[in-house]
Amino acid sequence: MSPDPANRRSTGSARDPGSFRDPTSQVFSIDGEIFRGLDQHALADYQAAAQTTFFPRLLTEGAVVGTDLLASPPPELSQWAGVLRHDRVSTITYPFEWAFEMLRDAALLQLDVTAAALGEGFITKDATSYNVQFEGSRPVFIDVGSFQPLRKGEQWYGYRQFCELFLNPLVLQAVGGVAFHPWLRGAIDGISPSELAPLIEGKQRLNRGLLVHVRMHARAENRYADADSERDISNEMKQAGLGPAVLSAQVANLRRTVEGLTWKAQRSTWSDYSDRGHYSDNDLAAKDRFVADTIKAHPGAAVLDLGANDGRFSKLALENGASRVVAVDSDHLVIDRLYRHLRDTGESRILPLVIDLANPSPGMGWRGVERRSFTDRMNVDIVLCLAVVHHLALTDTVPFDLIVDLLADFGSDLVVEFPHRDDPMAARLLARKRSGLFDHYDRPQWEAALGRRFTINATETAPSGRRTLYRCTPL
């Protein structure tokens, strides 16, 4: 949520580039603090919500981001009727970077927040998965501007958005067996019911939740595609008695449908990596020590663990004084398992993300800045890049200097591991290559590339002599 220079130029303010769709309530980042400007209607809605019992309760529980109405707002925001200050979320992430179970928990949070609001005559006027963030492994609802009193006969305007950005990606993964990440990343408004409906086949066609929210939704969408101009359905429904009881039943029905969705994948390329059978005990102990010593020298550091797998080194970082860790891996299943483990053990300082380093999230949406790139959002002190370089260099065939450029993009201290040609994992990857094509994969050329962007402060070769660890600071 840091200010974007391009946005400053065009608006003369520090409006968050992802906050412009709701004209009544918009987010700003000023001097590292997060503010929300409210127009007179949104301010009245906020003040009404603050008088309820559900809103303070959600704040106390941490389900909604910490929020205060400011008596003296920053002068830059003087044009707004009211200004809120929000607690800053450590790392902004997007739903196409979450594991299945994270998106599912975020969906349940959105529904619980909406149900709580409905219980006291309020509604959430939208329901996008971008309105939920993860503080470590804990989902938090951040769109405080979404709450408004429910008017007589009004529908839940967020229903369609909920289906497109929460439910349908979950159905795609759980029922279709198709990863939701590429589709959600490519479609900022999510997956429509008519796009998803053809994937519901066999006995899944009998699933009541999918029948209503996907298949009948798609059919109604097609049937009434041109009806909006002919009839005022919204008003006709009001006449027919639409009210909070129907909306509460809708939300409860959605909750049952989401709860019924599970992703049953058991095995993936990296899901059995955690036994680390290819490491000798001595090598692993030396690596642990090297990482621990680095973290101990930076108490309270924020750490980015690239290729985190089961989170072994993320947890080691916390044990040695790190304040929080972003743990990324390209393997969806290992991140899903890591998230479940963190949630079930109550460890909320690790944020697991599904990220392919060879193709990290780009800037996207309006002017390419509405959703910011992965590297742009990582505000960390130390990057751990352990057992990753050989995959980037040999599987993804990325030259050493470009790998080092990626590591330098984070602008942080670095601990990086280089497996030599005779390391069993590197040797296995090299064995697939045509002879002579990867002769440049050696330690001197790696160190030359590393030295171009980093100062190497410490080097340690594992007892087996097959891997070397480097402790570096950016030039």
Partner 1 sequence: MFAYLDAQTGSMIAAALAGGAAGIGVLLRMYSNRFLGIFSKKHRERAAADAASLMDSPSESINS
3-state secondary structure of 353: strand
Task: Dump the DSSP string for 282-323.
Answer: HHHHHHHHHHHHHHHTSTT-EEEEET-TTTHHHHHHHHTT-S
Amino acid at 80: W
Q: Helix (H, G, I), strand (E, B), or coil: what is residue 462?
A: coil
Q: Shortest distance, CB of residue 342 to partner 1, whole angstroms?
A: 32
Q: Is 51 exposed, middle or buried (0-12, 13-18, 19+ CB in 10 A)?
A: exposed
Nearer CB in complex with partner 1: 216/292: 216
Q: Between 204 and 375, name the residue whose CB sits nearer to partner 1.
A: 204
> In whole angstroms, what separates CA 211 from the centre of its chain?
29
Q: Which is nearer to partner 1, 24 or 268 (CB)?
A: 24
CB of 1 to partner 1, least distance (A): 21
> What string of DSSP letters covers 137-178?
TEEEE--GGGEEEPPTT---TTHHHHIIIIIHHHHHHHTT--
For partner 1, give the closer residue by CB, 235 or 397: 235
Nearer to partner 1 by Cβ, of 217 and 337: the residue is 217
- Are 85 and 67 in contact by the 8 Å Cβ rule? The answer is yes
Task: Give the pairing of strands 122-124 and 382-385.
Answer: unpaired
What is the C-alpha separation between 79 and 60, in angstroms, rounded? 30
Q: Measured from the CB of residue 212, what is the shortest distance to partner 1 in angstroms? A: 5
Q: How far is the CB of 225 from partner 1 (least distance, A)?
A: 7
Q: Phi and psi for 472 in degrees, rounded to 5?
A: -135, 155
Nearer to partner 1, 91 or 148 (CB): 148
Shortest distance in whole angstroms from residue 16 CB to partner 1: 17
Q: Is the CA virtual torsion 154, 123, 169, 406 positive or negative? A: positive
Spatial separation of the C-alpha atoms in residues 426 and 421, rounded to whole Å: 6
The gap between the terminal CA atoms of the chain, to the nearest Å, is 26
In angstroms, what is the minimal distance from the CB of 473 to partner 1? 47
Q: What is the DSSP letter of 75?
A: G
Taking the complex as a whole, how short is the minimal distance between the CB of residue 17 and partner 1, in angstroms? 18
β-strand partners of 148? 123
Cβ-based nearer residue to partner 1, 242 or 338: 242
Judge whether 114 and 127 are in contact, CB under 8 Å: yes
The strand pair at 413-419 and 350-354 is best described as unpaired
- The residue (of 44 and 358) whose beta carbon lies closer to partner 1 is 44
- Residue 321 CB, nearest approach to partner 1 (Å): 45
Closer to partner 1 at the Cβ: 190 or 352? 190
Positive or negative CA dihedral for 109, 351, 129, 127? positive
**CA separation (Å) from 7 to 11, 28, 31, 85?**
6, 11, 15, 20
Q: Pick the closer one to partner 1 by CB: 215 or 391.
A: 215
Q: How far is the CB of 261 from partner 1 (least distance, A)?
A: 15
Bridge partners for 455 per DSSP: 473
**SS3 for 135?**
strand
Q: How far is the CB of 453 from partner 1 (least distance, A)?
A: 45
Please report how close the Cβ of residue 246 comes to partner 1 at its closest, in angstroms: 4
Residue 356 CB, nearest approach to partner 1 (Å) = 32
List, in sequence order, every residue forming a beta bridge with 460; answer none if it has no partner.
469
Structure-token pair, residue 253: 């029905």
Whose Cβ is closer to partner 1: residue 69's or residue 220's?
A: 220
Using the minimum distance from each CB to partner 1, give the nearer residue, 244 or 363: 244
CA separation, residue 346 to residues 3, 20, 300, 338 (Å): 32, 35, 20, 12
H-type alpha helices, 357-475: 374-377, 389-390, 400-409, 424-431, 443-453
Contacts to partner 1 by CB under 8 A: 21-24, 41, 125-126, 148, 151, 153, 155-161, 163, 193, 212-213, 216-225, 227-228, 231-242, 245-247, 249-250, 253-254
